[in-house]
């Protein structure tokens, strides 16, 4: 969906939306529209939409009133995104091809106007690639949003937000694709294609290179699949820094659980077990597109976890790249085995000062937080505070969990340095404790367990049912607030 800016002097589409503050209908509204809005109990609340038809010079026009809520309400940016999203949700399949949003009289800043357009674009994303039998009424018709009388600075703000939207859409695309389409090799190729010409430097390791480096933990997960594992590194060097910042993503492109196989019901969802890697790829695209003033490395550990005759067995002991050994108690606790070698590699190759990893790591996180927050673990209070603030500002909300020695000893193994799982209770915490053992001294590190956030079974604030793109916004906001400050 494209967004164009122009004045109201140019011919407008048949569908026009006017923005209305709560309890403040515009004084120049036609009396019939005003009375109809009142009868429909339209009060300008956030996300409310009222539609009327009015006579124009070229025939009837559709007029939508979109509620913005109160100007002094909290979460202003998020509320404005809801305004744009509500308009798209209502008119995406309406038969209209173009929507004009009239910003006159709204008193919005350029940044606030861009928030409305941002929400409108995000809500319009759908993955219909394989849906060949859609009726005309089901197909999206809305392809363009025209910003009319946009406030000063809106175009410049939109240039940045549209880059972020592109990154989120790329993440959604990767997460939504089935596992026969997105697997380690094709993930890499799609990322290369999308990042081509952006200035992002790409490094790819295959089976041979990872074997030589001793990535026994990651390779142990991959050995049951015919798909070759990959390690994808993407560097955007938009500024000189003493040390870069690293984002590391779990990329299990399909997770059967391996020999510790999952129940059949719902296993199809495990195509999105690469949501962490998808978020990393998406944020790297966004940073490059908006020319972020930061030095960032994105690393994706990409494998498929399958129950082949050559698959890793429960009880196997593997040696990670760090030299630490792991007794694999449960082959379905594979994400941490992928991440630990990716963490070691990025530290040895780039010596980052800060690492944030993202992973759909544990079902226990969904039990803890449902689908409202991503879980956060950190060895540094300042980093945790900055990520928490970035989550609140961006809408990718995080909730911090504890780490500590009492949890750490729960994953000690009698025959190796550690087990890959602890007892039933505190499963998300012991998974984070496992990862912490691979973080070098002096490196600020945070682990984001986003298992409940990358996929939605029903439409949300700025997404339809399906892939949400969670993780891109919080990382982008962290870069803006911390690295570019």
Q: Could you give the residue numbers annotated as active site?
A: 262, 336
Q: How far apart are the first and last CA of the chain?
A: 31
CA distance 453 to 135: 31
Q: 237 near 344, Cβ under 8 Å?
A: no
In sequence order, the 6+-apart residues with CB closer than 8 A to the CB of 294 are 236, 238, 239, 241, 245, 287, 479, 483, 484
DSSP string, 279-343: HHHHHHHHHHHTT-SSEEEEEEEEEEE---TTSPPTT-EEE-TTS-EEE-S-TT--HHHHHHHHH
CA distance 479 to 460: 25
Q: Which two tokens stand for residue 261?
A: 């196989």
CA distance 18 to 24: 12
The torsion region of residue 105 among left (phi > 0), alpha (psi -120 to 50) and beta comes to: left
Number of other CB atoms surrounding residue 128 within 10 Å:
10
Element (H, E) at 400: strand 398-400
* Binding-site residue ranges: 250, 255, 273, 332, 334
Q: 214 near 279, Cβ under 8 Å?
A: no
CA distance 45 to 43: 6
Number of other CB atoms surrounding residue 141 within 10 Å:
14
Element (H, E) at 98: strand 98-102
CA distance 72 to 45: 13
Bridge partners of residue 122, in order along the sequence: none
* Binding-site residue ranges for Mn(2+): 250, 255, 273, 332, 334
In sequence order, the 6+-apart residues with CB closer than 8 A to the CB of 4 are 144, 145, 146, 147
Q: Of 432, 442, 446, which Cα lies nearest the Cα of 482?
A: 446
Produce one character per residue of 403-442: b if its CB has 16 or more CB atoms within 10 Å, e if not. Answer: beeebbebbeeeebbbbbbbeeebbbbbbbbbbbbbbeee
Number of other CB atoms surrounding residue 151 within 10 Å:
19
Q: HSE (CB half, 13 Å, CA atoms) of 2?
A: 3
């Amino acid at each position: 969906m494209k967004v164009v800016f122009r004045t109201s002097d140019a011919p407008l589409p048949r569908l026009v939306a006017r923005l209305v503050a709560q309890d403040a209908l515009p004084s120049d509204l036609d009396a019939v529209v005003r009375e109809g809005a009142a009868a429909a109990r339209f009060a300008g609340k956030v996300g409310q939409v009222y539609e009327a038809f009015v006579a124009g010079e070229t025939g009837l026009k559709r007029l939508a009133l979109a509620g913005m809520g109160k100007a002094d309400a909290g979460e202003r940016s998020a509320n404005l995104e809801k305004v744009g999203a509500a308009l798209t949700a209502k008119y995406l399949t309406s038969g209209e091809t173009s929507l004009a949003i009239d910003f006159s009289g709204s008193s919005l800043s350029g940044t606030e106007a861009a928030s409305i357009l941002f929400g409108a674009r995000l809500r319009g994303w759908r993955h219909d690639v394989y849906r060949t039998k859609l009726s005309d009424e089901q197909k999206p018709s809305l392809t363009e949003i025209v910003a009319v009388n946009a406030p000063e600075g809106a175009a410049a703000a939109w240039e940045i937000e549209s880059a972020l939207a592109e990154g989120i859409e790329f993440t959604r695309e990767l997460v939504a694709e089935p596992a026969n389409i997105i697997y380690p090799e094709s993930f890499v190729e799609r990322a290369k294609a999308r990042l081509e010409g952006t200035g992002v430097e790409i490094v790819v390791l295959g089976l041979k290179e990872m074997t030589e480096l001793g990535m026994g933990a990651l390779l142990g997960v991959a050995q049951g699949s015919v798909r070759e594992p990959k390690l994808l590194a993407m560097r955007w060097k938009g500024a000189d820094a003493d040390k870069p910042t690293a984002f590391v993503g779990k990329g299990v492109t399909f997770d059967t659980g391996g020999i510790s196989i999952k129940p059949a019901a719902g296993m199809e969802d495990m195509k999105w077990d690469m949501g962490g890697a998808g978020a990393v790829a998406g944020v790297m695209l966004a940073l490059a597109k908006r020319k972020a003033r930061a030095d960032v490395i994105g690393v994706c550990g990409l494998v498929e976890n399958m129950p082949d005759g050559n698959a890793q067995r429960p009880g196997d002991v593997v040696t990670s790249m760090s030299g630490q050994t792991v007794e694999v108690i449960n082959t379905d606790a594979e994400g941490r085995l992928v991440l630990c070698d990716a963490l070691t590699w990025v530290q040895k190759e780039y010596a980052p000062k800060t690492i944030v990893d993202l992973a759909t790591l544990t079902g226990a996180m969904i039990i803890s937080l449902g689908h409202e927050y991503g879980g956060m673990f950190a060895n540094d209070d300042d980093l945790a505070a900055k990520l928490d603030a970035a989550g609140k500002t961006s809408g990718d909300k995080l909730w911090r969990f504890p780490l500590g020695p009492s949890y750490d000893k729960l994953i000690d193994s009698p025959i190796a340095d550690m087990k890959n799982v602890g007892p039933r209770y505190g499963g998300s915490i012991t998974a984070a404790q496992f990862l912490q053992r691979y973080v070098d001294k002096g490196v600020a590190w945070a682990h984001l367990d986003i298992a409940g956030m990358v996929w939605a079974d029903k439409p949300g604030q700025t997404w339809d049912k399906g892939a949400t793109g969670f993780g891109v916004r919080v990382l982008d906001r962290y870069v803006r607030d911390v690295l570019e400050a």
